Amino acid sequence: MKGYFGEFGGAFVPELLVPPLQEVEKAMNDILPTRQFQDELADLLNTFAGRPTPVTFCPTLSRELGSNLWLKREDLLHTGAHKINNTLGQALLAKKMGKTRLIAETGAGQHGVATAAAAARLGLECVIYMGANDVERQAPNVQRMRLLGATVHPVPTGTATLKDAINETLREWLSSQQTTHYCFGTAAGPHPFPTLVRIFQSVIGAEIKQQLKKLPDAIVACVGGGSNAIGMFHPFLEDKDVRIIGVEAAGTGKPGCYHSAAINLGTPGVLHGSRSLLLQTEDGQILPSHSISAGLDYPAVGPEHAFLARTGRVEYHMANDAQALAAFHKLCATEGILPALESSHALAWVLENRDAFSPGATVVVNLSGRGDKDMDIINAAIAASNKMESENAQA
């Protein structure tokens, strides 16, 4: 069935959102594959965003692990993460559809910044919805969005975080669809977004295939909504010898804690227009999610990942906050790269499970973003562990 991945996916939306979703689907099928669109997008990705990104071999970590560890360097992209691949694609598509305005949700602000940059570059108006709590917590990104010409609307409802911002953006789209494209931020939401976002992010996996001389033994990515992961994974799905590993955020990892592991610990349900795996109570109320990395903090996951978990083609594991922090410090100190805390989850699983790979195996980790945005969190974690150490020393 159209827009489904097995039992997952679909478009569970109010009737008034069916026409704009169909319009996006038509553009995805008719405009996106054309030579002209592909050439224009490739030019933007190359000259504005900085593609292709390199794959970097990690000599020190490889020696420690006994395998060959490579990083796909999405952290080197303009605005600091893979998100610009998707926002440039959707902004260009919106323009070809005759739209003059983009709206988008953002949680930590990374997708808001990437949307604002793409809108400014392509001459589109831009409005970003952001939970009021997130606006407080992510002030530098709010400022970046405003400098890039976007209007930022704080959303005070619900938990005043990402899921509420998505609800508000969908609500606005009911009335603004004539002029406006909803630039959805991850490979989730109603059809056609999971497919559209995957198409724009698949440049990640396609480049890896060209850059490595032979197929890798394993590829690994962190999974929030799932866009950097599906973009890395999709070009490898038919390559049966390539082990594919997604890593979810386990929160603190303590029993009963909040986390963001919708695949490992969630159940089927409908959120934000899509049937997938969710964190919810028995009667379907959405549970709060948590991760030390704001970008993984989402109570659901894209439907294609739910499907790939069901079929077993992709393995999904978890890494917790402390493991991600340790991996962050390790990569900084050994390889001279400051990774995003999101990407640190993927690296953490590899570091914690070195026996999962045979000696000499080629393992590629998707470094979805750079960690400069996470300095406050890193500093707070260092301060907390110093405090604990000095208390222990006194005791």
Ligand X SMILES: *Cc1c(COP(=O)(O)O)cnc(C)c1O
317 is known as an active-site residue: no
Task: Give least dist CB 67 to ligand X, A.
Answer: 23
Q: Which residue is nearest to ligand X (CB)?
A: 369
82 is known as an active-site residue: yes
| Nearer CB in complex with ligand X: 95/233 | 233
Peptide bond into 52 cis (omega under 30): yes
| Nearer CB in complex with ligand X: 68/364 | 364
Task: Give least dist CB 152 to ligand X, A.
Answer: 17
Task: Give least dist CB 32 to ligand X, A.
Answer: 19
Task: Give least dist CB 367 to ligand X, A.
Answer: 8
How deeply is 311 buried, as exposed, middle or buried, from its count of CB atoms within 10 A (0-12, 13-18, 19+)?
exposed
Backbone angles phi, psi at 212, to 5 degrees: -85, 145
Amino acid at 41: L
Site for ligand X, rule CB under 6 A: 81, 83, 110, 186, 222-229, 295-296, 340, 342-343, 368-369
Task: Give least dist CB 229 to ligand X, A.
Answer: 6
Q: Which residues of 267-288 are buried (b: 16+ CB within 10 A; e: fewer)?
A: eebebbbbbbbbbbeeeeebee
Find out whether 244 and 315 touch, Cβ atoms under 8 Å: yes
| Nearer CB in complex with ligand X: 223/250 | 223
Q: Return the DSSP state at 339.
A: B
| Nearer CB in complex with ligand X: 74/177 | 74
Task: Give least dist CB 23 to ligand X, A.
Answer: 23
Q: Taking the CB of residue 128, how many other CB atoms lie within 10 A of it?
A: 30
Kind and range of the H or E run holding 114: helix 110-122
Distance CA 320, CA 257 (A): 11
| Nearer CB in complex with ligand X: 216/224 | 224
Which is catalytic among the residues 58, 126, 183, 222? Answer: 58
Distance CA 389, CA 380 (A): 14
| Nearer CB in complex with ligand X: 119/296 | 296
Find out whether 184 and 197 touch, Cβ atoms under 8 Å: yes
Kindly report the three-state secondary structure assignment for every residue of 287-319: CCCCCCCHHHCCCECCHHHHHHHHHCCCEEEEE
Which is catalytic among the residues 78, 82, 111, 191? Answer: 82
Q: In the structure encoding, which two tokens stand for residue 5, read together?
A: 């991945």
Catalytic positions are: 58, 82
